[in-house]
Every structure is written in structure tokens, then in C-alpha cells.
Structure 1
């Protein structure tokens, strides 16, 4: 039975890709918003490739649920500029007597636990460093859709991933063992600023030692290796972070991220299931120590 269900899922994934008009076939809100965003940027999807992997199954009465992931590659044309955007979507399909009757995306919760948001930044220690943007981006490219076993993986992993990228770029850690102090990871413990979106945002806006950043007003001012923070609800509590890994035809950032694993995604996240019209952003460019 499991092999039969997997076969049916593979057929469905292929249908996503081979449909004459993929964009009309995927008429869900997420895809509608992606298409709208692309049109506003004078861009279009010219080809889609997708493949899937079953991650688990369970029974509920006479029904069977199959959890699976779909890796999408979007070949995007923007004027004379071409690039490939990627994302991994988690989905659940319900079968009844071998027939699919429901197939939906399993939405990742970008909200994090209500951990302390205030962090201590008092330090007399002077930490010299030069931020290596290329190494940070290389790390973001290597691990965008997988997890480095050297670090703990979180269900909501976006900030943990960004911190790893910053660390790969030679950003210095400090503050251990106080979780409310500094920015650090030891292997079995970490600061709030390392793994909590709002705490990292506060750290980047205030830190005067170790890893430091400067807030800029617009996304086009950012360089590769810089960080964007997202407050989806606009309530002042930021709940997502991404790292800039490229630029589009107009010099606007393309980003990599975890939780909803994404590569070279347009920075504004208008195609995210978490997006609301009240969204607010913070743009931070990483600076070398003085």
C-alpha cells in the first residue's frame, strides 16, 4: 500500500510540473502572491522543476496521511537577467481507498516561544574581526535546505541558521554562559540572540562589541552577507530573519532562509504564508570592528 501511495504522490508532483500552465494549476494564495510579486518586478517563471520525498505516514481510521516534501526550482527571467529560485515545501496528502482527496501545504509556524527579548550588551572586552561576506554566503548556500550536525536544529530554525552564517563569516561570539548576554553558541547552550529572531534583531541594533551591524533605510543598500529582519504582524515583535545571498536585475536582495527553506527568494516575502499587509522590516549591514 505504501508503495502505491508514493507512486500516486509522484504522479501528482509530476502533474505540478507538466501542467500546460503551472501558474494557473497552482492557484493557491501563496502562488498568486508570488506571481503578483514577479509581475511587479517585471519578472516571470519560465520553467519549473520539482521532485518529492515521503517523510512519514500515519493512519486515521480508514484514511491514510502521507507527509512529504517537494523541492521546487523556479527558473526566473527578469529582463535579460536569469536566476534559479528554490524552496522546499512540506505537504500532507490524505488518501481514502487509495485515492487522494486532500493535499495541502503544512504551514511552518514562524512564531517563536515567548522568550526574553531584552539582552545584555555590557562588555569591556574588545573583539577584533573582519567580516568575510563570501564565506557567510558560501555557508548559506551549502546549508540552505539541510542542517549542519555541528549545531542543534530547531523546529523554528531561521535565526539559528542566520547566526551560523554570520559565524561562518568570522563574526566573534561573546557572553557565555549567560543566555541573555551577548551572542554565542557552545554546542549544548546558546544565547537568546543566537536563536530567537527578536533577540537577534535587538542585538544587531544595539551591539557595540563583537558582532556589530548598522541599520540602513532601504533593502538596496544591503550587501551580500547582510541580514533582513521581519515582523510579519507589524506588532513590534520580529519573528523571522534572512541573509542576503544575491541581487536581482534591479539590485534588490535575494535571500536564503530556514524554517521554510528557501534559496534566492525575493527579500519582501510577499509570497509567504506568514505575510500580512502590516509587515515591517529591519535592514542591517554587518560592519567590521573599529
Structure 2
């Protein structure tokens, strides 16, 4: 199982090395405004999940202009990482993709069109990141990355991160402990 997961994530990282396709114009100002408004006050226009970190980052990306990708016939849930959406269905129930809410699946979706970068070094992550990128965290000995945040602001030697689970608007990356590896998705 561990080898399968590592192979899947390595393949996704390799896919991230190709030139990105058009995925909509991203507006950092709109993303920041959304994070500021909803990092503590959850948006009632979206369903709320336990372990809401990836859902919140997906909302930021969508509200900033990243185009949702959904199938013609909207199922209640899809596991295919080529899709990324959270949408009301004709019966008024929610339909969503696993990539909207699950750390590894968001990564697999985003690196289809964006570049990824991973490192165990915080300084290396900081030097390769920019405001508006997505960052994910992996604990020591874990098979998978387990947390997603959004880079609100890049400083010369730190990143300020927005996220849910523990609700933050500008959490210092340097103050976060308990993780062994990090990866960013260049937005």
C-alpha cells in the first residue's frame, strides 16, 4: 500500500513538471478577500466538512477565479482527480469531487496543470513559494500528506498561511511544527 501511494504521488509530482494549461485567470486580491472574510466565519454557500482544510483552500481558489472542472452529468461524488468542483445538483443536493476536499486528490488534480515542488527544508519551500500558492504538509513516517493551507503572503524568510481546521488567516509557516515534508503547488 505504501509503495502504491508513493508511486501515485511521485507520478503526480512528475506531471507537475509540464507546462500548465489555461485554468482561468487567478486574482490574488479576490483570494485574499475571501480568506479574510471566511477563515473564521465559514461561508454558508458551501457545505462544511470535518477536517475542512482542503475544502477551504478549494473555496479560496474558486473564488479567486480558478475554473471548476465537472462532468456533464453531475454525480453526488466523484473520485476522478481530473474533476474539481463543488456544485449544487438539480435536486438541490451538493455534488463534489474528492479533489475538492481531500489533500492528496487536490494535489493530483492541480499538478495536472500546475507545477509542484516538495522538500523537507522550510527555507527551500519559502524560496520556491509565492503568495497564492497552495502548501501541503506531511508528518514524519506518514504515507500521505495530511494538511492543506493557502499562502496568503510571502515574506523574505517566512510564509503567512491561511487555513481551516485550526482557523488562521496569517499563520507563520516557521512556527508550524510536527511535519517532516512540505510541498507547494505553484498557482
Same fold (TM over 0.5): yes
Measured against aligned partners, the alpha-carbon deviations of 1:203-230 in whole angstroms (never above 9, x if no partner) come to 222x1xxxx3212352222221111011
Secondary structure of 2:95's match? coil
Larger RCO, structures 1/2 (Cα 8 Å, 6+ apart): 2
| Corresponding position of 1:164 | 59
| Corresponding position of 1:200 | 106
Measured against aligned partners, the alpha-carbon deviations of 1:145-197 in whole angstroms (never above 9, x if no partner) come to 12000000011100000000000111011133361231111130210000011
Alignment gaps of 5+ in structure 2: 1-7, 10-20, 89-93, 119-124
More helix by share: 2
Matches of 2:176 and 2:64, distance apart in 1:
28
TM-score, normalised on structure 2? 0.73
Displacement after TM superposition at 1:268 (Å): 4.5
The answer to whether the Cα contact below 8 Å between 2:126 and 2:154 also exists between their aligned partners in 1 is no
Matches of 1:280 and 1:234, distance apart in 2:
10
2:24 to 111, 126, 129: 129
More strand by share: 1
2:79 to 180, 198, 210: 180
TM-score, normalised on structure 1? 0.48
Bigger radius of gyration among the two: 1
| Corresponding position of 1:228 | 135
Measured against aligned partners, the alpha-carbon deviations of 1:129-157 in whole angstroms (never above 9, x if no partner) come to 21112211221111111200000001110
Displacement after TM superposition at 1:128 (Å): 5.1
> Structure 1 residues 128 and 239 mapped into 2: Cα distance closer, same or farther (>3 Å)?
closer
Secondary structure of 2:86's match? coil
Displacement after TM superposition at 1:235 (Å): 2.3
Matches of 2:106 and 2:174, distance apart in 1:
19
| Corresponding position of 2:158 | 252
